Amino acid sequence: MNSRYWWHHMFQVGLFLAICLLPATGFQCRQPPKVEVALWRDFSVNHVVEWRIERVCSSNQECYGFMEDGLMALMVQLCPIQIQFGDTVTLSPPPAGSPYSMKAANVSYEHWLRCPPRNYPTDQRLYDKNSTGLPYEIPGRFLHPGTTYIAELENGPFSRCFYGLRVVVQIKDMDCPLGINGTAFFNSSMLPDSAVPCSGRGVCGSTLLDDNYHCICRQPYTGKSLYTTVCSSMCIFL
């Protein structure tokens, strides 16, 4: 058997095995209803992402729980997560004996789509030689408000990133001014001790489709937007 034929044969065998390892159906992620309001917490929590192909979703319905244009469910991926700024995220490795490992990195949006190469910059990698097989936390420098893309680095002829070992982390900041009786205080040096988010006339919340936490006013109050989100400023009487 000449070497050219041998490599072609091995490629076919590898491709067959790779396809067999793909999940037959996508994983249904547990996401809140898109209209459900999550309230801003005054404490941080840790979110765990299971780095396993068995946790891969492949459509908006599976990844977010509903169909919606513009969402990031364009390809197989791990369940996307939304956190508030200040939370932590831990990646949990696959079970012992799995045919793949966990070698993830903070990547660009383009590399998240196409999957990153093996020689990705070391300062963007989330692991080192001592962390193989162990859970590791995404460093805080990668979790600023906005969107963070995490993907498996190529670790063989068939990169596991293409099979879904990548995740989108949306980090939401708080855009809820503190105030009293409809007066907002944007200068912290003038902030009274009794000041509360949204002047006490609403809640600081966010839905699945929001980019941040903003004031959601209670009736009969409303808010004049300083940015683009309704009620991002103080709640006043209608």
Q: Does residue 151 surpass a pLDDT of 90?
A: yes
Q: Does residue 197 surpass a pLDDT of 80?
A: no
Q: Does residue 66 surpass a pLDDT of 60?
A: yes
CATH of domain 23-172: 2.60.40.420
The predicted model gives 51-74 an average pLDDT of 77
CA proximity to 169, closest of 148, 138, 191: 148
Q: Are strands 183-185 and 38-39 parallel, antiparallel or unpaired?
A: unpaired
Q: Are strands 174-175 and 213-217 parallel, antiparallel or unpaired?
A: parallel
Ranges 10-14, 115-119, 177-181, 183-187, most confident: 115-119
Q: How far is CA 90 from the centre of its chain?
A: 12
Is the pLDDT higher at 1 or at 110?
Answer: 110
Ranges 11-25, 118-132, 223-237, most confident: 118-132
| Predicted local confidence at residue 27, as pLDDT | 81
| Predicted local confidence at residue 228, as pLDDT | 34
Question: What percentage of the chain's residues is helix, strand, coil (to nearest 5)?
Answer: 20, 30, 50
Ranges 96-110, 121-135, 212-226, most confident: 96-110
Q: Does residue 79 surpass a pLDDT of 60?
A: yes
Separation CA 21–CA 56 (nearest Å)? 12
Is the pLDDT higher at 26 or at 167?
Answer: 167
The predicted model gives 176-202 an average pLDDT of 66
Q: Does residue 235 surpass a pLDDT of 80?
A: no
Confidence class for position 232, pLDDT limits 50, 70, 90: very low
Domains of the chain by residue range: 23-172, 174-237
Q: Does residue 189 surpass a pLDDT of 60?
A: no
Point out the least confidently predicted range of 62-76, 80-94, 118-132.
62-76
The predicted model gives 21-45 an average pLDDT of 80
Q: What is the pTM of this model?
A: 0.78
